[in-house]
Every structure is written in C-alpha cells, then in structure tokens.
Chains A and B, each alone.
Chain A
Amino acid sequence: MLPTELILPIAIAYVALLFVVAFVGDQRARAGRLGWLKSPVVYTLSISIYCTSWTFYGAVGYAARSGLEFATIYLGPTLVFVGWWWLLRKLIRIGHAQGVSSIADMISSRYGKSTTLAALVTLVAVVGAAPYIALQLRAVTVSYQVITSAGPENPSGLPGAHPDFHAALWIAAGMALFTILFGTRNVDAKERHHGVVAAIALEAIVKLVALLAVGVLVVFGLSDGVAHSFSRASPQLLQSADVFGARWVTTLLLSAVAVVCLPREFQVTVVENVDERHLRTASWLFPLYLLLITLFVLPIAITGLSLLPSGSSPDMFVLTLPMWAGQNAVALLAFLGGFSSATSMVIVACIALSTMISNHLVMPLAMRFKWVPLYADGEVRRFLLNARRIGICVMLALGFVYFRLSSSDALAAMGLVSFAGVAQFAPSLFGGLYWRNANVGGAIAGLSAGTALWAYALFLPSFGPDVVLSAATLRDGPLGLALLRPQALFGLSGLDPLVHALFWSLSVNVLLFVVVSLLRRPRPIDRLQGTLFVDVFRAPAEATSGLLRRTASVQDLDALAQRILGVGEAQRFFARAAREQGLERGLPIADDPFISQLERKLAGSVGAATARALISEVVTVETISLDELMKIADETRRMAEHSRQLEEKSRELEATAAQLRDANARLTRLDQEKDDFLSQVSHEVRTPMTSIRSFSQILLDSRDLDGARTQRFVRIIHDESVRLTRLLDSTLDLGLLERGEANWPRTRIDPEIALEGSIRICEGLGGGRVALASEARAVGAAVEANEDRLGQVFINLISNAIKYNTSASPRVTVRSAVRDGVYEVLIADNGPGIPPELRDRIFSRFPGGLARSRTAASGSGLGLAISWQIMRHLGGNLELVGGEGPGACFRVTLAAMDSAAPREPRPA
C-alpha cells in the first residue's frame, strides 16, 4: 500500500505538470509557434480521450464479466475512423466551413440555426454526460481508496459498494477547479484550446504507458507469457458463442455512434481540429492506439480472476494486481494512468458541455430576460465566462449526484448508459449530413421522443430500484400497467436492458425524425443550411455565399459587436474588415459577406443559433434566394447528366458547325444577291426617275413651250412612269412568288392556246427582222395551269429570244410535244447564247452582266426570274438546255394530263 501522504503530493505534482504543459502550449500558440502542437500525432492523442477510466479500469472489469464483448467499445470507433472518408471528413469540413463550436451548435446549425434544437441537444448532452462523469469520479475515488488502503494482505481493496463519498466530493471539487483554470480563459469557443490539447495528449501517453506496463507485468511477471495467462481462463469466459448476439451488435454500433456523438469527442475531433489532413493520420493511428491499450485487457482480467481472491472488484484489477505482486512503482504508474484518463475526460467533457450550456441555454435566456447589461463593454464576455464556470460546476455536481444515487458498481455499465443517451443525436446529426429534406421539426420530434424513451427505459432504471423509480414500477410498470414496464416496454421482454432501451429509443427517434421531416415544409433558412451541409463538397463557397442577402446598418452591427465581443475586439474586427474591403478608414460596408463574417465571429462566442438571433435583430431585410438554392441542390443531378450532355453537345456542335458553314456560304451568296438586287433596283428606278425629274423640271421652268413639245415631254414622263410601275410590279410579283404567296386559279387548259397567243403577240416585236418559226407542235395536250401566267412565261421567253438576238439572220424556233406524260416547249434562238459563267444563275434576279445587257431593252431584268418562279409554282419547270446551234434554248415543262378530247392539230 502507498500512504496518502505520498499519493496526494504525487497527484498534485502531476496536475502541476499538466498545468505547465498547458501553459507552455498556450504561450506557444499565442506566439504563433504551434510546432508540435499542430502535429497529427497530438491531434490523434487528443482524440484518445475516448479512453477514459472506463477503458483504463473498466475494460478489465467488463472483460472479466462479459469476455470479449469489451472489445466492441473499441471496434466501433475503429470502424468509424477507418471509414473516415464516409463521415468524419464531411463533419470536419462542415465544422471548418460553419465555424462549429460544439455538437449542439452543429445540429442546430444544420436545422436552420434553431435555438430550441440547440437547447434540447444541450440538455440531452448534459443529462447523458452525468453517468459518464460519475464513472470517472467513481474510478478516481475507488482507485485512491484502493491504493491508499490495500496491501498484499488485503489486495481487493475496499468493497466496491462503499466508495468514500467524502473523498469523491473533494475530488469533484478539485476537478472543477482544474477545469475552470484550464478551459475558461477564452470566450471564443472556436479558438482552439491548444494548451488543453497538449495536456491531454500527454495524459494519453501516460495512460497508454501505464496500462502497457501493467499488462507486461501481468503477462510476463505473473504468468509465463501470453499462452500461460490465457490458459488460466475459465472456459465460459471466452468460448461462449452467446457473446456474439444482439448485445454484441448493439454495443459495436453504439460505440461507433458514440465516438462521434459524445460532446467531448466531437470537441477534440471536429472543433479542435486545426488541419483537415490530420484526420488522415488519425484514421489509422487512433485505431492503433485503441488496439494497443486493449491488448492486455484480457490477460489482466483472466489473471485477476484466477489469482486475486474472489470478491475483488474486477474494475480495480489494473491497480490491485501490481499491488498484489508488490510492485508499488507499477501500481503508482497505474494510479496516475487512471487519474490521467479520468481528468482528461472530465476537463474536455466539461469544456465542451459548459460551452454548450452557456451558448445554447444561458445566453438565449439572458437575452430574453435581459440578465446582462448588454451595453456595457465586456459585460457579455464576463457573463459568458461566468456561465461557463458555473456550467462546469453544474456538470461535476450532476456527476457526483449520479454517482451518489446510482446503484451500479460496474464502470462499463455506467458508461453505456451515457453512450445510449448521446446516441439519440445520431439520426438528426447523420441524417442531416446526407438527407436534404431533413428539417428542424423532425429533429426536435425524434430527439425528444428518443431521449424520453432512453430516460425511461435505461437512465432512470440505472439508479436502481427505489431511487427514482420505485421497485414496483420497475417490476410491474407504473400503476401496474405491464405494457409500460420500463425494461419491457409494450411487452417486449426477454431482451438485454441496453438492447431493449436502444431498440425503442432509436426506432422511435428515427421514425419521428423521418415522418415529421416529410410532413413539414422546410423554411428557406432550413433549406439553405441543409444545402450547405449536405453539399459541402459539391457547392463551392462562392456559389453559396450569395444565397443569403441581408441588409443592416453598419452602426447597428458595430453596436452589436461591441456588446458581445467587447469594444477593443469589435474595433479590431471592424478595422480588419474595412481594410479587406480596401477602405482607408472608417467602418466597413455592411455587405452580405461582412454580415456573414460577423455572424460567424459572434457564433464563436455565443453559438450559431444565438448569433443568428442577434444578427436578425439588427437586420432590416433578409432574403434567401430560393432559385439559387435549387440550382445548387440540383447540382448532383446536373452533374450526373453533365458528361452525357457534353457528348451530345459536341455531336450537336459538329453538326451545327457544318450547318453554319453551309449557311454562311448561302448567306454570303444571298447577301451578294441582295446587294446586287438592291443596287440593280436602285439603278433601274434611278434611270426613269431621272428622266421624269428632268422633263418635269423643263415643264415647270419653261413657260413658253409649244404644245407639241409639251405633249412630247408629258408623253416621255408618262412612259417612264409606266416603266417604273412595271419594274415595281415585277419586283412585287417576284417577291410574292418567292414567298409562295401567289395564288391564282389553276384550271385544266390546253397550253397550246397560251403558246399560240404568245407567239402571235411576239410576232410584231422583231419588226419583221426576226424569223419566228413554229416547228413540231403537241396535239391535244392538257395541263393544269393558269393560262395568263403560262402565257406570261412564253411571252417572256420568246420576246427575250427575239430582243437579244444579234445574229445576222435572227431566227427563233418554237417546238412543243408531249413526251412520257410531260408537256414540253422548247424555245431556241441563234443569238449569242448565254455565257457559261451565267448559266447557273440565269434564273436569279438581275443575273449580273446578262441583266445589264438585257435591262436596256426589257426594263426590268426580272423576267426570267419571274418566269422560273411561275413555272415552279405551277408544278412545272423552266431550264436552260443546250439546244442546237450557238444560241440559247429554254425548255418549259409541265405535267400533262390525260387528254379526254384530243383536238385537231393547229396550223403552224
């Protein structure tokens, strides 16, 4: 045994050492020399506060009672960390992006920064943590009693049923003081507690070394190696297949959930994380730490069970075995290890919980009931720090009360009650990370109902009969209602109490969370936060920054910041923001990024929900762009279609490019034609206009013109006007034809009549100079056409052939026939013909040189174009064929109809 006079100074010296480490850590951090404080190893070691006294003392006790089941408590976290890519990475990314300060802050931030939800989560966390803190108090108290009073002749120490509550009270008070000194120096919860992290990293090493030392002593000092120590095991301890039943699955999953949901684990893993990349190291180093610390648990448990007298508390084997072996140094190391694991847990848990209490319970109440003089500089800061200090004391007091009242003497059993309590966060927390439509109603409903069931089925019964629930209630249900028996709810009996409580609480929790979420329509702020959480990897920061638009006066914001942060801090913050906006001096512009930045800054002190409430008080207009939100929400779907669309687009683009090339060529040609056309029309119009103008000028100026000359001039003006009208008529006519708007009656006619009429009209044109010969002619042909229009085509072709025939003995030949159901007219001349370069555009408007050469006579230059359009319109065709001789030959074709009454051939 070791005397109190020795143990107490050693314990105090150890605490002093921790203080020094924490102090140095804080100093280095403040000086900006983070160095090893920022290493992934320190981060991993700080996560290992998962291993508390429960692990240090309780794991052996757990193994002695239930065999391998103790390992599930460490296998669950191993799976979570090994699977960090699924969950932890996202949590930490969100934690950084949102400036999350606690698990309550995280959950309430996800659900539209709900104050109610934050308070609820805090309450559940506080109640759930009480058994856990009680466990630490119990472990430290009992280990202190054991090490100071037991000896080789009395190795079992004190019977576990009688812990020294007097000593426990002092220990609780000491721990409260310790935590207050450590953890409540900064008001900004987001500022990392570098000192604390350094101290708990040291404690993590101490507890691992201590447990390994005990293990080595037991395996190689008290046994001849591993095999020997296992040979002492009773057969039922390890060989029972019953271990791997519902309880195995339950505790495995429960510990996996707890390692994320425990407020202190959330604190060290997410809030205190300095660098996302550290998680990569922790993903294997933390499981390795767990593996090492549990390596000797089974040998210690087996050796304790077989060597120590029956009745020894298995929870204290880690301490009593070295004492039994007379190894006081190892026993002292074990005591310090146990002390380390308890203190580090209590410090971090109390820091995390007191932050939650002050931010999510006290601050909203203080705002509502005006407890704080909000306008005095630094008052809020002092108020918050005091709230946290009181919060720490409350936590330890609750732990002590639970310890005092609880009937359980097994450390692991107490810890599992806590695990089941914080597991109620799981549906809201995990669901909120992956399910966009999860909303605040579902979270509150699920969490409240789940927690109520947990309290009724597990927490209250854990005090034992007749403490909170009477023995009769426990046995028969309240008022004898068997359906409501706490440990056999709704008749579900025969299950392990832990499995039973978890089954009901989590089932109802998940059910309500899902159903109420589905029933309730989310508010815009819910959707905004939901998107920020669910799509944290997809939505780039700049895409989400513009979603929330707020207007506030910068003076109001300044006043608010001074109230919460204190004048100095607020001024520094505003000056920095103004500099970042590029302003020389004065207050920054209250734009959206600045308001968000200020909100995050305030959230660091008072939590996201309160910060939002505070900002909302001074914000005059707030809009959330739902369209933008929907865009981001649809990102996934959009991305899924993205590659497919890209492929399609590139195909389309290729086709479009080809079409564009085509169209461009056509357009260029059309443009050219249009230009030609316009200049031609202008030219055509200008010539008669000029004569009309000059002759009318003469008529106006010269009053003494004789009648004959006047007559002549008026005649010229008239003729020119007629020519002009004809030109414009032709242009309009062509326009109509080209747009397909021409609408003439088409009847069954004999085309030869039209042809004959045209020849007769044209006979006079050549003035007898041109020989107009009509050769073979179709007999009894019938077509469906408009006689006038068909005649117009013939006249145009024949008159052109006559007019442009510059041959010495001009001759125009007209032939017609019906061939293969097609009526065909050939009009040939022996003139100069059509130059090859004009052949393919002879039927377009003003076909260049030809037009110029022909306009002089025809006056329009549109004749062929109109004729071609008419023929197309009639369903026939007009083309230029080689014909015989040097001249041109035009062919007109139309579908011939069955001639019912063949006519007599007409004389040529």
Chain B
Amino acid sequence: MPPDSAQAAPERSARVRDAARVLPLVGLFLLLPPVILLFAAPAEVAGVPLIVVYVFAVWGALVAGAAVLARALGPVEHGEADEPGPSD
C-alpha cells in the first residue's frame, strides 16, 4: 500500500460508514409525505404516471447506492470497530 493511501484509508472508511448510515434515512425522507406528495401529480413520463416512475427510480437509486457502498464497505467491515473501541 502506498504511504498516502495508508493514511487516507481510515478517514475514507469513516466516510463510507457514515454514508451507509445516511442512505436509508435519505430513502425514508424521499418516500414519506410530504416529499412524495410532490410527485403525486397527474403527469406522465413516457406514458407512465410520474408517481410510479418516481417510486421505482428512488428504489433503483437505493439499490445502486447500497451496491456501491457494499463494495466500498468490503475492506472497512473487516477493519471493524464502527464505534471507537477495542477491536477484536
């Protein structure tokens, strides 16, 4: 491992962990009223109602986000210790 990445690794993994915590909250925010009500309008995207497109787009984005984070969390998870503490 080059020296600068060895130094950046803990800092980066902390950000990845935080992102993993935030992602579901963002999803919840987007799927609950009032945000979702913004899209419950009688509009269509390529013949599909806007609200359907919105719900499935958020869903797809969550899946994609989780996949990216899962990949990024791979090395982090085994370093363990999301909370500061003696790692085992």
Contacts and interface: CB of A to CB of B under 8 A. Distances in A.
B9 interface: no
A227 interface: yes
Contacts of A539: 85-86
Contacts of B21: 83, 85-86
B26 to A, nearest CB: 9
B84 A244 contact: no
Contacts of B77: 276-277, 280
A344 interface: no
Nearest to A249: B32
Contact of B66 (A230, A287, A639): A287
A535 B64 CA distance: 31
B47 A291 contact: no
Contacts of B20: 83-85
Q: How large is the interface on B (under 10, 10 to 19, 20 to 34, 35 or more residues)?
A: 35 or more
A473 interface: no
A281 B67 CA distance: 8
A537 interface: yes
A287 B65 CA distance: 11
Interface in A207-240: 225-228, 230-231, 233, 235, 238-240
B59 to A, nearest CB: 5
A259 to B, nearest CB: 13
Contact of B42 (A71, A81, A239): A239
Given A228-B47, A244-B33, A639-B85, A79 B27 contact: yes
A244 B40 CA distance: 9
A241 B24 CA distance: 24
Given A243-B40, A642-B84, A287 B24 contact: no
A233 B49 contact: yes
Contacts of A537: 80-83, 85
B48 interface: yes
Contact of B47 (A81, A230, A245): A230
B60 to A, nearest CB: 6
A79 B46 contact: no
Interface string A294-321: 0100100000000000000000000000
Given A79-B28, A226-B48, A231-B47, A284 B59 contact: no
B71 to A, nearest CB: 8
A467 to B, nearest CB: 36
Given A82-B24, A85-B17, A287-B59, A636 B83 contact: yes
Interface string A516-547: 00000000000000000001011111010000
B31 A252 contact: yes
B48 A230 contact: yes
Contacts of A75: 27, 31, 55, 59
Nearest to A288: B63
Contact of B59 (A78, A231, A280, A640): A78
Interface string A243-281: 111001100100000000000000000000000110011
A68 interface: yes
22 contacts: A71-B55, A71-B59, A75-B27, A75-B55, A78-B63, A79-B31, A82-B65, A82-B66, A83-B20, A228-B47, A231-B47, A233-B49, A239-B40, A248-B33, A252-B31, A280-B73, A280-B77, A291-B63, A537-B81, A537-B82, A540-B86, A642-B84
A444 interface: no
Interface string B53-80: 0011001101111110110011001001
A284 B85 contact: no
Contact of B86 (A227, A241, A538): A538
Interface of A: 68, 71, 75, 78-86, 225-228, 230-231, 233, 235, 238-241, 243-245, 248-249, 252, 276-277, 280-281, 283-284, 287-288, 291, 295, 298, 535, 537-541, 543, 635-636, 639-640, 642
A306 to B, nearest CB: 15
Given A244-B40, A277-B77, A68 B70 contact: no
A608 to B, nearest CB: 22
Contacts of A277: 74, 77
Given A83-B21, A537-B80, A537-B83, A226 B27 contact: no
A280 to B, nearest CB: 4
A810 to B, nearest CB: 78
Contact of A238 (B32, B49, B60, B70): B49
In this complex, which of A75, A82, A284, A298 has the most chain B Cβ atoms within 10 angstroms of its Cβ?
A82
A230 B49 contact: yes
A474 to B, nearest CB: 31
In this complex, which of B24, B48, B49, B51 has the most chain A Cβ atoms within 10 angstroms of its Cβ?
B24
B79 to A, nearest CB: 12
Interface string B20-38: 1101110110011100110
B14 interface: no
B36 to A, nearest CB: 5
In this complex, which of A68, A83, A245 has the most chain B Cβ atoms within 10 angstroms of its Cβ?
A83
A298 B55 CA distance: 12
